[in-house]
């Protein structure tokens, strides 16, 4: 079991030369504010017109049809690995293909799966359910009742948004329970306490929600009683990000805890004991990631000195639950990363701790055992020089799955036992593209302040350093999210196999080297993230790999902000930009959907001192006339209820008002992921790579 942080875990100065002048202090002065009305009639007519214009051009290109069919063939391939989730004695899996467009939730006995001969039992057919209900349902996962897992709370979203409907499901009859627990569509969380009780945070009216749009109450909901009458056990403040409850079931006992998400990166944790919420004395920026052998596992984001002890930023430590409960600080160090390493994830099996480390952006897996008051580690003999993702972990044994991949090695699933420290290879994806003549290099670029920024280059072994290689640069640079080597079947087929070069940049703001690497790009230091990105682009040109005419960039969400800043700050460097589900209007981002929850990352634009540095890079406010901007391709989703589609819409409208050409595509479903079905994903990939070849190929420059 892996417990990721639940706490959510998103006067205007006149721009010289702007075609449209407005004050963002008064929303009514923004001439494009009407595009923030997500499903407004005028806004949707505008979307339809822009989609028609851009799709008409891109779909008529000679590349599109081949790219679409190749993408869809890969995405629907039955050679894909059925990703396993260990729940009791079964392996559960969610599967989509040409026959099951919206997908099926299914299971098979664990021994059959391990033997490579699964006989899948369909639990829920989302296509069938969607047709019956007349709703484009998207499966959002299921929470099972420990330890027998005969009941589940199934999450379903309309079109892929973050808000979900939750319904109780009986695993024996394979049906939803008519008079069972039912939670109307909302953002939030829930956990089973027992068969007749849920710990729930959900939307029960404005007074129960934070300004970020998440619940601020944790309630105890008894079967057969109205949800609105559920007892409030814990309540945070309206200006917080969220409040939530969670349950950790272990053989020795059940632990019930609450979290008050003050900001995106700061929380208060509480243990619920004897009908009382007891505040746990740990740093507000630390995360409780699990409990094992009665030891609370804590991930530190800053230095911590409890009493006479001292623990460095990025360390993993533990403390006995009773000691933490009683405000005693006798902690034990588990692991302390160095300057070029960090902790990617922490999981707990029945008796072992599984820690996934990054060392110079390469994964290493370790097993930790708690004995006689200390933690002892053993390295797992996993493949090297790539990315490891810890998969499902058993609650009842030390069995777990993990995945390994890199740019040229297809994703491979391994079954492992932490007690025996043994691994066995289960299955690899087929090679969906020809990597025979490809190679990977890792370089470093020097950023504006002298910091060395690692980046990977994937291309042909015999690459010509003539500055003419069509090159795609990708990065994210935020929220402590690490960008790691991964096998992209579609990218490999449509880009690398056709002679393109792919570059992945490990810029600051990410988590590749722990919390320090992330915090270096927060708030007033955000420009460092953009400087890192520009530095990698310039390094690629200095090496002769590419040139501005042949360099394209791509990013989504926070990465959409990154590429939006990149082309407005340095239009001289880039000739193609794919800006996906982006943040762009950084004056109003905190007023749109989940935006207020991300002020810990970017700052508060309503505070003049903080808007002063945000204004310096906000793409919507830094557009100018008579610039040599590339022809940007913006994409978003009407059903994205995390990053508001108004960001992309308004940016497009303002650029067109200034006389710039752009491409725009807004999917009417798909949520923040931008797509819900393989057909939609294939279309998105085909549009992206058609656009890139159109802009960056040697024939067009």
Catalytic residue positions? 557, 672
Residue 596 DSSP one-character state: G
Cα 519 to chain centroid, rounded: 18
Q: Is 69 helix (H, G, I), strand (E, B) or coil?
A: helix
Residue 388's DSSP bridge partners are: 404
Residue 311 DSSP one-character state: B
What gap in Å lies between CA 261 and CA 513, rounded to an integer? Answer: 24
Q: For the chain, give me the number of helices (H) and strands (E)? A: 13, 37
Q: Is 527 helix (H, G, I), strand (E, B) or coil?
A: helix
Cα 165 to chain centroid, rounded: 21
Q: Is 565 helix (H, G, I), strand (E, B) or coil?
A: helix
Distances (CA, A) of 644 to 49, 161, 214: 19, 11, 15
Neighbours of 484 (CB within 10 A): 22
Of the candidates 662, 641, 658, 659, the residue with the CA atom closest to the CA atom of residue 649: 662
Q: What is the DSSP string of 36-67?
A: GSTT-HHHHHHHHHHHHHHHHHHTTSTTHHHH
Rg of the Cα trace of the chain? 25
Tokens for 687, please give them.
């549009």
What gap in Å lies between CA 81 and CA 399, rounded to an integer? Answer: 19
Q: Beginning with the edge strand found earlier in the chain, give each strand of the sheet holding 217-222 in spatial order.
A: 189-194, 197-201, 217-222, 231-235
Residue carrying structure tokens 């006798």: 330
Cα 88 to chain centroid, rounded: 27
Task: For residue 287, give the H/E element and its range.
Answer: strand 287-292
Residue carrying structure tokens 């559960």: 92
Q: Are 213 and 231 in contact (CB under 8 A)?
A: no
What gap in Å lies between CA 336 and CA 520, rounded to an integer? Answer: 19
What gap in Å lies between CA 334 and CA 317, rounded to an integer? Answer: 5
Long-range contacts at 95-101 (CB < 8 A, ≥ 24 apart): 96/677, 96/678, 97/678, 98/72, 98/678, 100/125, 100/126, 100/127, 101/127, 101/677, 101/678, 101/679
Q: What are phi and psi of 56, to 5 degrees?
A: -60, -35
Q: Are 544 and 467 in contact (CB under 8 A)?
A: yes
Residues with Cβ within 8 Å of residue 180, at least 6 apart in sequence: 167, 168, 169, 170
Residue 13 DSSP one-character state: P
Distances (CA, A) of 289 to 286, 565, 600, 691: 9, 34, 20, 42
Beta 374-379 vs 363-371: how paired, if at all? antiparallel
Of the candidates 465, 480, 470, the residue with the CA atom closest to the CA atom of residue 554: 470
Q: Are 587 and 12 in contact (CB under 8 A)?
A: yes
Q: Are 87 and 106 in contact (CB under 8 A)?
A: no
Q: What is the DSSP string of 440-478?
A: EEEEEEE-TTS-EEEEEEEEETT---SS---EEEE----
């Amino acid at each position: 079991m892996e417990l990721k942080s639940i706490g959510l875990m998103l006067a205007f100065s006149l721009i010289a030369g702007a075609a449209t002048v407005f004050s963002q202090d008064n929303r009514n002065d923004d001439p494009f504010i009407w595009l923030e009305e997500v499903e407004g009639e005028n806004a949707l007519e505008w979307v339809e017109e822009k989609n028609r214009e851009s799709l008409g051009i891109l779909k008529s290109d000679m590349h599109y049809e081949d790219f679409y069919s190749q993408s869809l063939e890969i995405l629907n391939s039955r050679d894909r690995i059925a990703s396993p989730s260990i729940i009791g004695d079964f392996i559960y899996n969610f599967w989509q293909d040409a026959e099951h467009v919206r997908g099926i939730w299914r299971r098979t006995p664990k021994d059959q799966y391990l033997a490579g001969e699964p006989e899948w039992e369909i639990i829920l057919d989302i296509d069938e359910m969607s047709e019956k209900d007349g709703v484009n349902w998207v499966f959002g996962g299921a929470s099972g009742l420990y330890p027998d897992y005969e009941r589940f709370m199934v999450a379903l979203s309309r079109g892929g948004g973050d808000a979900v409907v939750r319904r109780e499901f009986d695993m024996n009859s394979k049906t939803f329970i008519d008079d069972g627990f039912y939670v109307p569509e909302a953002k939030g969380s829930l956990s089973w306490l027992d068969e007749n009780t849920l710990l729930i945070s959900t939307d029960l009216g404005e007074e129960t929600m934070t300004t970020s749009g998440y619940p601020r109450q944790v309630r105890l909901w008894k079967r057969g009683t109205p949800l609105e009458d559920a007892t409030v056990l814990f309540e945070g403040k309206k200006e917080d990000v969220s409040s939530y409850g969670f349950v950790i079931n272990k053989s020795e006992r059940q632990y019930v805890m609450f979290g008050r998400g003050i900001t995106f990166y700061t929380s208060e944790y509480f243990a619920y004991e004897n009908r009382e919420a007891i505040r746990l004395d740990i740093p507000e920026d630390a995360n409780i990631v699990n409990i094992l052998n009665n030891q609370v596992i804590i991930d530190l984001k800053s230095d911590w000195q409890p009493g006479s002890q001292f623990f460095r930023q990025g360390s993993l430590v533990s403390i006995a639950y009773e000691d933490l409960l009683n405000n005693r600080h006798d902690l034990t160090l588990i692991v302390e990363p160095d300057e070029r390493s960090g902790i990617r994830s922490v999981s707990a099996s029945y008796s072992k701790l599984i820690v996934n480390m990054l060392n110079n952006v390469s994964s290493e897996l370790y097993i930790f055992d708690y004995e006689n008051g200390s933690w002892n580690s053993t390295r797992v003999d996993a493949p090297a020089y790539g990315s490891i993702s810890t998969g499902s972990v058993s609650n009842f044994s030390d069995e777990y799955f993990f995945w390994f991949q890199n740019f040229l090695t297809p994703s491979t699933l391994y079954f492992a036992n932490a007690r025996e420290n043994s691994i066995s290879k289960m299955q690899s994806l087929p090679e969906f593209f020809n990597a025979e003549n490809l190679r990977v290099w890792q370089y470093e670029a020097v950023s504006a302040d002298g910091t060395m920024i690692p980046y990977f280059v994937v291309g042909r072994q015999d690459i010509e350093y003539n500055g003419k290689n069509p090159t795609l640069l990708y990065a994210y640079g935020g929220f402590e999210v690490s960008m790691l080597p991964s096998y992209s079947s579609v990218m490999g087929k449509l880009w690398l196999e056709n002679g393109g070069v792919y570059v992945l940049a490990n810029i600051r703001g990410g988590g590749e080297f722990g919390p320090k690497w992330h915090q270096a790009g927060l708030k007033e230091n955000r420009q460092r993230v953009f400087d890192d990105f520009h530095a990698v682009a310039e390094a690629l040109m200095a090496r002769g790999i590419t040139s501005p005419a042949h360099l394209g960039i791509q990013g989504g969400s926070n990465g959409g902000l990154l590429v939006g800043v990149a082309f407005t700050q340095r239009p001289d460097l880039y000739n193609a930009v794919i800006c996906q589900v982006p943040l762009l209007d950084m004056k109003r981002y905190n007023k749109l959907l989940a935006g207020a929850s991300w002020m810990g990352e970017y700052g508060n634009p309503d505070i003049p001192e903080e808007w002063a540095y945000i204004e310096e890079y906000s793409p919507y406010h830094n557009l100018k006339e008579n610039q040599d901007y590339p022809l940007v391709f913006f994409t978003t989703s009407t059903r994205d209820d995390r990053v508001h589609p108004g960001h992309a819409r308004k940016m497009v409208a303002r650029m067109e008002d200034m006389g710039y050409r752009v491409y725009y595509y807004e999917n009417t479903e798909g949520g923040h992921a931008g797509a819900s079905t393989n057909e939609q994903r294939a279309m998105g990939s085909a549009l992206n790579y058609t656009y890139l070849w159109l802009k960056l190929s040697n024939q067009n420059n």
